[in-house]
A and B are shown apart, each in its own frame.
Chain A
Amino acid sequence: MNRKLALPDRILLSVEKPARYTGGEVNSIMKDKEHIAVRFAMCFPDLYEIGMSHLGMQIIYSMLNSRDDIWCERVFSVWPDLFQIMKEEKIPLFALESQDPIKDFDFLGITLQYEMAYTNVLAVLDLAQIPLHASDRKDGDPLVIGGGPCAANPEPLAPFFDMFYMGEGETVYFELLDAYKANKEANGSREDFLLKAANVEGIYVPKFYETAYNEDGTISHFGPKDEYIGLVPNSILKQTVEDLSDTYYPEAPVIPYVQATQDRAVLEVMRGCIRGCRFCQAGMLYRPCRIRSLDFLKKRARYLIENTGYEELSLTSLSTSDYPFFEELMDYLVNEFSDRKVNISLPSLRIDEFSLDVMSKVQDVRKSSLTFAPEAGTQRLRDVINKGITLEDIMTGSEMAFRGGWNKVKLYFMLGLPTETQEDIAGIADLSEQIAELYYDTVPKEERQGKIQITVSTSFFIPKPFTPFQWEPMYQPETYLDKAGFLNATIKEKLNQRSIRYNWHDAKTSVIEGLLARGDRRVSSIIEDVYVSGASFDAWTDHFDYDKWIRAIENAPFGLDFYVYRRREQDEILPWDFIDIGVTKEFMKKEFQNALQEIVTPNCREKCSGCGASVFKGGICFENKN
Chain B
Amino acid sequence: MKIRIKFTKEASVKYLGHLDIMRFFQRCFNRAGVKMVYSEGFNPHQKMSFAMPLGLGIESRGEYLDCEIADGQNLEEVKNKMNLVSGDGFHILSVRELKENACKVMAAVRFASYQILFDAAIKECAIEHSIKELHSRGSYLVHKKTKKKEQDVDILPQIINLSYQGQTLLITLRAGGDQNIKAETVASVLFDLMGIDYHREKITIMRLELFAEDLVPLEDFETIRT
Contacts and interface: CB of A to CB of B under 8 A. Distances in A.
Given A5-B12, A258-B16, 14 more contacts: A2-B11, A13-B57, A17-B17, A19-B13, A19-B17, A22-B15, A26-B24, A26-B27, A257-B23, A259-B20, A259-B23, A307-B31, A308-B27, A309-B26
Contacts of B26: 309, 311
A618 B16 CA distance: 46
Contacts of A263: 23
B1 to A, nearest CB: 18
B89 A257 contact: no
Nearest to B30: A309
25 contacts: A2-B11, A3-B11, A3-B12, A5-B12, A10-B199, A10-B201, A12-B15, A13-B57, A17-B17, A18-B56, A19-B12, A19-B15, A23-B12, A24-B13, A26-B27, A26-B86, A257-B13, A257-B87, A259-B19, A308-B27, A309-B30, A310-B30, A341-B38, A364-B42, A364-B43
Nearest to B24: A257
Interface of B: 11-13, 15-17, 19-20, 23-24, 26-31, 38, 42-44, 56-57, 85-89, 199-201, 204
Given A24-B88, A341-B44, A364-B42, A310 B24 contact: no
Given A309-B26, A309-B27, A24 B87 contact: yes
A497 to B, nearest CB: 31
A1 B88 contact: yes
Given A9-B57, A13-B57, A24 B27 contact: no
Nearest to B87: A26
Contacts of A255: 27
A24 B201 contact: no
A8 interface: yes
Residue of B30, B38, B201 most packed against chain A (CB within 10 A): B30
A250 B12 CA distance: 25
A25 B16 CA distance: 11
A contacts with B: majority SS: loop
A22 B27 contact: no
Contact of A24 (B11, B28, B29): B11
A465 B204 CA distance: 54
Interface of A: 1-3, 5, 8-10, 12-13, 17-19, 22-26, 255, 257-259, 263, 305-311, 340-341, 364, 366-367
A249 B80 CA distance: 29
Contacts of B30: 305, 308-311, 340
B31 A308 contact: yes
A18 B13 CA distance: 10
Contacts of A5: 12
A13 B42 contact: no
Residue of B11, B15, B16, B85 most packed against chain A (CB within 10 A): B15
B56 A13 contact: yes
A25 B87 contact: yes
Contacts of B201: 8-10, 13
Contact of B12 (A22, A306, A307): A22
Contacts of A367: 42
A12 B57 contact: yes
Contacts of A259: 19-20, 23
A219 to B, nearest CB: 50
B6 to A, nearest CB: 20
Contacts of A13: 56-57, 200-201
A311 B42 CA distance: 14
Contacts of A258: 16, 20
B144 to A, nearest CB: 20
A362 to B, nearest CB: 13
Nearest first, the 8 A-B pairs at minimum CB distance are A309-B27, A309-B30, A10-B201, A309-B31, A22-B12, A18-B15, A26-B87, A19-B15
